[in-house]
């Protein structure tokens, strides 16, 4: 398995990315550190969503709501005198638990209907938060959230958060990668291609789906928890529906179901959105221009990638890479025989996942 992994994304590229991202916070301005942290947080959310979309074959339009639930859990607990670290750890647990409760009934829905069901969940979240002001601070939100401490270590500066996020991103990506390479991961992959096929070969479809759904919510929850300590303030405005759509776009742009795609998609879309905002913000231009530009660019990216590069940027790139490699005289080892579940899907390139239909 490791051979396949290293063939897809060469090990030195992974190490280089790790080292660069580790050194980067030392050199970034405070604005850029904020972008760095945002990219990290979105990578975590997108890694979870990518697992859900690529492996369980489900589209969730409610991921921003889980991000929000994580934020509110951490904020409320920290404000009620819990240790911030405990509050942070509680964020993904509470989010996962909620997702489990929601997922049991909601996962009966498939494909299109699930997308609307999760969107409805997000809209309910956005409608309920302003109505429960005593707990959530209503539409004004919660502020004066205590700063994060891990043992004797105070996490306060942007750089501290950059490193905290780096650690969590690495941990999340390792978890995601291990899942994709594990037996449940292969089962999920088979499931994305064909639910009936997978269940016929003994994959416990319902259980895996629910686990995947819960895990993707937990990822969003931990990211939300870090976010709230980083910003020190939380309000429902931070979790609009368009953020959920942005997460889906990041997954699609990076490549559905690829672990590295989560990072590529999150980084690219965050940077593009920053560039568009700075381009569109000028006193002479209408104030809504940045929003128009970013919505327009997101939409075009989403449509163009799904129509022309269904395996995302990472998929397209790795295909080029493979082509370049197979053109060289040294041939590489083909599949190592452990891909039973995957080859059962009949896909020629099991490493690439697209939004395939359930058969």
Cα-based torsion angle of the residue sequence 45, 49, 55, 60 in order, rounded to the nearest 10 degrees: 160
Place of tokens 């891990």: 150
The distance of closest approach from Cβ of residue 321 to other proteins in the complex, given in angstroms and rounded to an integer, is: 24
Nearer to other proteins, 35 or 302 (CB): 302
The distance of closest approach from Cβ of residue 179 to other proteins in the complex, given in angstroms and rounded to an integer, is: 21
What gap in Å lies between CA 51 and CA 174, rounded to an integer?
13
Query: For strand 148-150 and strand 153-155, is the pairing parallel, antiparallel, or unpaired?
Result: antiparallel
Nearer to other proteins, 231 or 355 (CB): 355
Nearer to other proteins, 225 or 257 (CB): 257
How big is the CA angle at 20 (ends 67 and 261), to the nearest 5 degrees?
Answer: 45
The distance of closest approach from Cβ of residue 164 to other proteins in the complex, given in angstroms and rounded to an integer, is: 32
The distance of closest approach from Cβ of residue 311 to other proteins in the complex, given in angstroms and rounded to an integer, is: 11
Nearer to other proteins, 119 or 228 (CB): 119
Residues forming the site for other proteins (CB under 8 A): 57, 59, 61, 105-106, 108-117, 119-121, 123-124, 127-128, 130-131, 241-242, 245, 248-249, 252, 286, 288-289, 291-293, 295-296, 298-300, 302-303, 306-307, 310, 354-359
The distance of closest approach from Cβ of residue 59 to other proteins in the complex, given in angstroms and rounded to an integer, is: 6
Beta-carbon contacts of residue 283 (< 8 Å; ≥ 6 apart): none
Beta-carbon contacts of residue 149 (< 8 Å; ≥ 6 apart): 83, 84, 85, 155
Nearer to other proteins, 115 or 223 (CB): 115
Tell me whether residue 263 is exposed, middle or buried, using C-beta atoms within 10 angstroms of its C-beta: 0 to 12, 13 to 18, 19 or more.
buried
């Amino acid at each position: 398995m490791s051979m396949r992994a290293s063939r897809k994304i060469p090990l030195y590229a992974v190490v280089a990315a790790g080292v660069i991202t580790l050194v980067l916070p030392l050199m970034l301005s405070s604005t850029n550190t904020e972008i760095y942290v945002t990219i990290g947080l979105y990578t975590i959310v997108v890694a979870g969503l990518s697992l859900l979309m690529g492996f369980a074959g489900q589209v969730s339009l409610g991921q921003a709501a889980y991000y929000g639930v994580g934020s509110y859990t951490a904020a409320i607990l920290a404000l009620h005198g819990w240790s911030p670290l405990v509050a942070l750890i509680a964020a993904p647990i509470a989010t996962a638990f909620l997702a489990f409760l929601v997922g049991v009934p909601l996962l009966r829905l498939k494909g299109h209907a699930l997308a609307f069901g999760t969107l409805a969940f997000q809209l309910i979240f956005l409608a309920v938060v302003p109505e429960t002001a005593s707990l959530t601070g209503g539409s004004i939100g919660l502020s004066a959230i205590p700063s994060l401490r891990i043992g004797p270590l105070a996490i306060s500066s942007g750089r501290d958060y950059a490193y905290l996020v780096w650690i969590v991103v690495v941990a999340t990506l390792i978890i995601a990668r291990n899942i994709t390479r594990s037996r449940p991961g292969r089962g999920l992959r088979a499931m994305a291609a064909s639910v009936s096929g997978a269940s016929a070969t003994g994959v416990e479809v319902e259980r895996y789906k629910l686990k995947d759904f819960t895990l993707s919510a937990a990822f969003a929850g931990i990211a939300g928890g870090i976010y709230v300590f980083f910003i020190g303030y939380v309000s429902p405005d931070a979790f609009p529906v368009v953020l959920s759509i942005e997460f889906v776009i990041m997954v699609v742009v990076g490549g559905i179901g690829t672990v590295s795609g989560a990072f590529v998609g999150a980084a690219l879309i965050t940077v593009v959105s920053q560039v568009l905002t700075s381009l569109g913000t000028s006193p002479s231009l209408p104030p809504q221009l940045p929003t128009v530009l970013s919505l327009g660019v997101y939409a075009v990216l989403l449509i163009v990638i799904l129509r022309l590069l269904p395996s995302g940027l990472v998929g397209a790139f790795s295909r080029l890479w493979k082509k370049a490699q197979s053109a060289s005289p040294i041939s590489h080892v083909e599949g190592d025989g452990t891909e039973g579940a995957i080859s059962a899907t009949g896909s020629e390139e099991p490493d690439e996942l697209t939004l395939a239909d359930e058969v």
